[in-house]
Structure 1
């Protein structure tokens, strides 16, 4: 059995305990939440439905994979609360997060930036593989609902960093409100997918910290289970497999050190380096399945920076990270170590 098949078999075995009830397993792992159903989704922050809706607690981590990021600046993770209501083919999502200042951005000052927030949606794939958290991939586009303080909202699409385009159709409705030292922003619009569960991720920009482009904080993908959206059992089972992790972090840490991962990647306690993506918070941003694939097949998806890949074959970017001589258990243990970093 070759290493790819062995790793697949090991991952399947690790997820076997989840297979009987994948939705419950995803919920217990903090990866899936059920959206409350209403007749009409509210946009008014004072609507009583919001007070009656439980919050989903998420964490937004500093983006550090591509510049300009927040790496090395001591930016702390942000606690984000998400509430969601759905009905009549529409969804409303409320975000709340701390921000001590109100920033609008001034058009006459190129060094002035506005507070902003975005929701990123993906189509759930049958194989459970979610798009790269950083604005999708060439073959796995994402839909983005974007709000900027003082400038309203936009509906966009992206296929990776630096690929934003306007998306057809009206932008989402947005209402923003300040409450103490926090923002509360409501987005509302048609459901962006036809099948469930709905993958959503959040990005936040702080104008006071020159937030723009990649200078943002972002969450991992989270699944929303919406009444009326049909779900394929195979998709839920595959997503459960992506979320499952059964390795030993301590052994994975030793393997990462023995294989020289710190030479190209920032890891806790290591020397700063930009030869490869910063991995010091990678467990907070990526699902275990993505981590396993990145170790097993470094060129499967390469973060789009020139010095991360060999550019001699533009049609297929080859990662500068070599394929390591690892067995399936080694891969699972390194993935478990990376998953612990947050």
Structure 2
């Protein structure tokens, strides 16, 4: 048995946020409801407060100005409705060369059942369906040209999708892979009032493409919010981890052991985004030592459980190959600001099960 040292690449959040424990968003069936965010029926909906975190995994980094989003949901015999509400002191509904950026929000769902894709826009072979609403698209005088960023020289012609509708259905399999769906059947309506945005999304339970929603079932769901006043756009946003949307009378599975709970945490927090499926590495990271994010499936050979918990809790910066070049683009957050101590413990218990056995070792 070889003794190997494996490192965990971590970078620290600048602002602490609340516990990232999984939230179960209850969606009850109703006969009908309107697209009005202030429909009286919403007062009867179960409310869930979901923690949002800054996007610091890849450029453009940003977000963090919106800490929480309130989520409510209903469904009818034919359609799913989801309402997001969050605090925003200013209404921003324009994109232009003068540095004005639009407020917005999005829902994200796995396209296929099975292993959770990364919550950070999916991953290769595991696509996500994104319902994106932008305040600027609701304006009669919205700008038909956008901005150009240093990291996206062709932004205007190649990357910015303009829409005549407030909402779009998009797909992604990882950072930089966003595409527009062939079927555009997502509707949305947003209202800014008294320092808060309220946005309602609507789509049929089943569609020609995209995620299907079945009564009395569980569906992973994630959220993102853009604050235009804080110059947030594209990857610069506040986002959530995977949560669970409960349609009807479905019940979440009880996860009985630390190892099983840890596997769920590994998926919800998107650990494979940087460390690869089952922690086996292979994810490129420009200018990082070795050129990749290190694997962690043999991490128990170089660390004790307590040491691994401490690395995840406090964070550790990636070491660049060239100190004069830009820092490695992929970053892993200081999860101690989000994970509970119980989650940290369960995650490490799961990591210990990844070590190969017998000849593989």
TM-score by length of 1: 0.64
Name the CA shift for 1:295/1:103 in 2 (closer, same or farther; >3 Å).
same
How many equivalent pairs are there? 263
Hey, what's the Cα distance between the residues in 2 that align with 1:329 and 1:245? 17
Confirm or deny: 8 A CA contact 1:296 1:324 kept in the other structure: no
Partner residue of 2:227? Answer: 206
Hey, what's the Cα distance between the residues in 1 that align with 2:282 and 2:255? 19
Hey, what's the Cα distance between the residues in 2 that align with 1:33 and 1:324? 36
Name the CA shift for 1:56/1:138 in 2 (closer, same or farther; >3 Å).
same
SS for the counterpart of 1:150 is helix
Partner residue of 2:48? Answer: 56
Does residue 244 in structure 1 map to residue 261 in structure 2? yes
Name the CA shift for 1:225/1:102 in 2 (closer, same or farther; >3 Å).
same
Hey, what's the Cα distance between the residues in 1 that align with 2:2 and 2:108? 36
Confirm or deny: 8 A CA contact 1:296 1:323 kept in the other structure: no
Cα drift, residue 104 of structure 1 = 1.7
Confirm or deny: 8 A CA contact 2:25 2:72 kept in the other structure: no
Hey, what's the Cα distance between the residues in 1 that align with 2:269 and 2:304? 14
Cα drift, residue 53 of structure 1 = 0.8
Partner residue of 1:122? Answer: 110
Confirm or deny: 8 A CA contact 2:65 2:238 kept in the other structure: no
Cα drift, residue 244 of structure 1 = 2.3
Does residue 82 in structure 1 map to residue 71 in structure 2? yes
Partner residue of 2:90? Answer: 101
Confirm or deny: 8 A CA contact 2:66 2:238 kept in the other structure: yes
Hey, what's the Cα distance between the residues in 1 that align with 2:127 and 2:54? 22
Partner residue of 1:11? Answer: none
Partner residue of 2:286? Answer: 306
Partner residue of 1:164? Answer: 178
SS for the counterpart of 1:197 is strand
The aligned runs of 1:124-203 (5 Å cut-off) are 125-126=113-114, 129-151=115-137, 152-191=166-205, 192-194=211-213, 196-203=217-224
Partner residue of 1:287? Answer: 268
Partner residue of 1:252? Answer: none
Name the CA shift for 1:322/1:35 in 2 (closer, same or farther; >3 Å).
closer
Name the CA shift for 1:38/1:305 in 2 (closer, same or farther; >3 Å).
farther
Name the CA shift for 1:202/1:325 in 2 (closer, same or farther; >3 Å).
closer
Name the CA shift for 1:240/1:324 in 2 (closer, same or farther; >3 Å).
closer
- CA shift digits 1:44-84 (9 cap, x unpaired): 2232211111211111111111111128xxx4551210001
Partner residue of 1:220? Answer: 241
Query: Relative contact order, CA 8 A, sep 6+: which one is greater?
Result: 2
Unaligned segments of structure 1, at least 5 residues:
4-28, 247-282, 312-317
Cα drift, residue 31 of structure 1 = 3.1
Does residue 319 in structure 1 map to residue 319 in structure 2? no
Cα drift, residue 159 of structure 1 = 0.5
Unaligned segments of structure 2, at least 5 residues:
4-20, 138-165, 206-210, 314-333, 339-361
The aligned runs of 1:322-341 (5 Å cut-off) are 324-326=298-300, 330=305, 333=309, 337=313, 339-341=335-337
RMSD: 3.9
Counterpart selection for 1:45 from 23, 37, 44: 37
